[in-house]
Amino acid sequence: MLAPKTIRPAMLRATRGTRVLARLPAVARPMQRMAASAYSTQRTTGFDPSVKTAMDKQTPPEPGSDFRVVIVGAGNINFGSDEGPWNHSFRLEHKLGPRLKVVALIDPSAERARDVLKTKCQSFVLSAYKDTIVYPDFKSYLESVTEENRPHAIWVGSPPAFRGSTEPGRNLEQLLTDGLPGVPLFIEKPVATGDVDQAFAVADMLKKSGNLVSVGYMLRYLKVVQKMKQIIAENHLRVMAINARYIMAYEHTAKLDWWDKSKNPGPIVEQATHFCDLARYFGGEADLSSVVAHSLEHYEPAGRLSKIPVDESLIAPENRIPRVTCATWKFDTGAVGSLTHAVALQGTDYSTELDVYADGYSLRLVDPYNNPMLYIRRPGDDHEEVVRYNDDDPFFSEVSNLIDCIEKGEGTSPILSSYEDAVKTYALTWAIRRASERSARSPPPS
């Protein structure tokens, strides 16, 4: 997962040096809470952006019964890195406090898993990890599950190549729901790397299973995004157009696989997916048959980059990523969507913006990863009002909301992205990639 690396966010000020925070009731058995009706919880569309969501604004936790979590994946998304603000374990620690007990860490690299556990056990969260057992795969973990250590939730941050399908070896969701029916799941995006129809089959399987599922499209949880939803709803607006721009700073992206679309699904599916998701969040369902896209390829004169930090000659020419992808499409409402993704900037700062237009209104979301700001132009005033929220952490909100639903029942807090919803975003990203590949100019003869 790659996102803007310069982290100066107002949204993250609460994430450094804060107390262990949250207040929750005793844990009820997940299977008693999760039935087929639980899926309806995930259709909640938003929340009031004026409510306090930052970690340092929560009520300190009271002692209570253990909340047992299984973490799948010992990598950056679950345990953090210098590349970005993601770190699910950190948010779990602050939400649950001393009640958190990570009963298992599942990762094929025992060394990597032991390293992250060693770091945790040398910190103030020792009690959450001192009894954690490392397992190489889910099947070996499942053999150890008893009524006493059954988890209350599973956090999935493993690479998407191993999930999102019904094929053996890529069917993690099926293993989880079959082995631990009723246990709620948090699953990172993108939900898959393979066939879109397979991902929809997994969505259907999860819906029928009754497992509560939240997918990590965290930008939906930004307060500025919720403010946009509020303005649209309160003024009965019909969105006319959405224009998303994601311009990447590439010179420090030194992971060779990221530049290889045979190893990584490519920048639209893996990176611009958050903006495709926001476009759907505001605009509704996209008509995939209407998607038109063009790309700037590495072999075209304008596609030659001067500071690629990897040896691109190690990648087969047909597998090198596009430098620019521009797409347009229609929403079912008739509104028009557009996306520009470019691998173009140097340094560390990305340029990311999304515009939503309706009759009389312009809603412009700027820099949602680092310093989220919303510029609003309303009828009768040509000037833009600026809205920002200090100490907003959407990563914490998505963690907190799922745990609230587990413990307090459906509808307690909104889960803003179900698995089925996430697969629809996945389908849009692949429609864009395929359209751009169909229209790409042929490379010059060698």
Has residue 170 been placed in a domain? Answer: yes
21 assigned to some structural domain: no
* pLDDT at residue 411, as a whole number: 83
- 92: CB partners within 8 A, 6+ apart: 69, 100, 155, 399
Burial class (CB in 10 A: 0-12, 13-18, 19+), 122: exposed
Q: Which domain-ending residue is among 193, 216, 239?
A: 216
Residues 384 and 413 placed together within one structural domain of the fold: yes
| Pair 195, 338 in one domain | no
- Where is the domain boundary, 163, 191, 216? 216
User: Which CATH number do you get for residue 410?
Assistant: 3.30.360.10
> Residue by residue, what is the 3-state secondary structure of the chain?
CCCCCCCCCHHHHHHCCCCCCCCCCCCCCHHHHCCHHHHHHHHCCCCCCCCCCCHHHCCCCCCCCCEEEEEECCCHHHHCECCECCCHHHHHHHHHHHHEEEEEEECCCHHHHHHHHHHHHCCCCHHHHCCCEEECCHHHHHCCCCCCCCCCEEEECCCHHHCCCCCCCCCHHHHHHHHCCCCCEEECCCCCCCCHHHHHHHHHHHHHHCCCEEECCHHHHCHHHHHHHHHHHHCCCCEEEEEEEEEEECCCCCCHHHHECCCCCCHHHHCCHHHHHHHHHHHCCEEEEEEEEEEECCCCHHHCCCCCCCCHHHCCHHHECCCEEEEEEEECCCCEEEEEEEEEECCCCCEEEEEEEECCEEEEEECCCCCCEEEEECCCCCCCEEECCCCCCHHHHHHHHHHHHHHHCCCCCCCCCCHHHHHHHHHHHHHHHHHHHHHCCCCCCC
Nearest to 194 by CA among 215, 159, 163: 163
CATH classification of the domain holding 143: 3.40.50.720
pLDDT at 337: 98
Residue span of the structural domain in which 81 resides: 63-216
Asked whether residue 70 falls in the same domain as residue 99, the answer is yes
201 and 224 inside one domain: no
Residues 200 and 269 in one domain: no
Number of domains in the chain: 2
Final residue in a domain of this structure, among 216, 243, 275: 216
pLDDT, one tens digit per residue, over 374-428 is: 999 999 999 999 999 988 999 999 999 999 999 999 889 999 999 999 999 999 9
User: With a cut of 70, which residues of the chain have pLDDT below it?
Assistant: 1-45, 54-58, 60-62
Do 337 and 418 fall within a single domain? yes
In a domain, residue 446? The reply is: no
Could you tell me how far CA 374 lies from the centroid of its own chain?
21
336 found inside a domain = yes
pLDDT digits (tens, 9 = 90+) for 270-323: 999 999 999 999 999 999 999 999 999 999 999 999 999 999 999 999 999 999
**Res 103: pLDDT:** 98
What is residue 18's predicted lDDT score, i.e. its pLDDT? 28
Within this chain, do residues 266 and 337 fall inside the same structural domain, yes or no? Answer: yes
- What is the predicted pLDDT for the residue at 363? 98
* Residue 228 and residue 212 share a domain: no
**Euclidean distance between CA atoms 332 and 281, whole angstroms:** 13
Cα separations (Å) of 271 from 186, 378, 394?
19, 31, 17
> What pLDDT does 9 receive?
36
| Structural domain includes residue 38 | no
Specify the pLDDT at position 54.
65
Question: Does residue 174 share a domain with residue 226?
Answer: no
On whether residue 8 sits in a domain, the answer given is no
In a domain, 235, yes or no: yes
Residue 209 shares a structural domain with residue 228: no
Task: Assess whether 257 and 384 both reside in one domain.
Answer: yes
My answer on whether 143 and 256 are in the same domain is: no
What confidence score (pLDDT) does residue 150 get?
Answer: 97
Question: Is the residue at 14 inside a domain?
Answer: no
Is-contact 81 41, C-beta < 8 A? no
pLDDT of residue 157: 96
Largest pairwise CA distance in the chain: 69
Query: Which among 399, 53, 18, 1 is positioned nearest to 222, based on CA atoms?
Result: 53
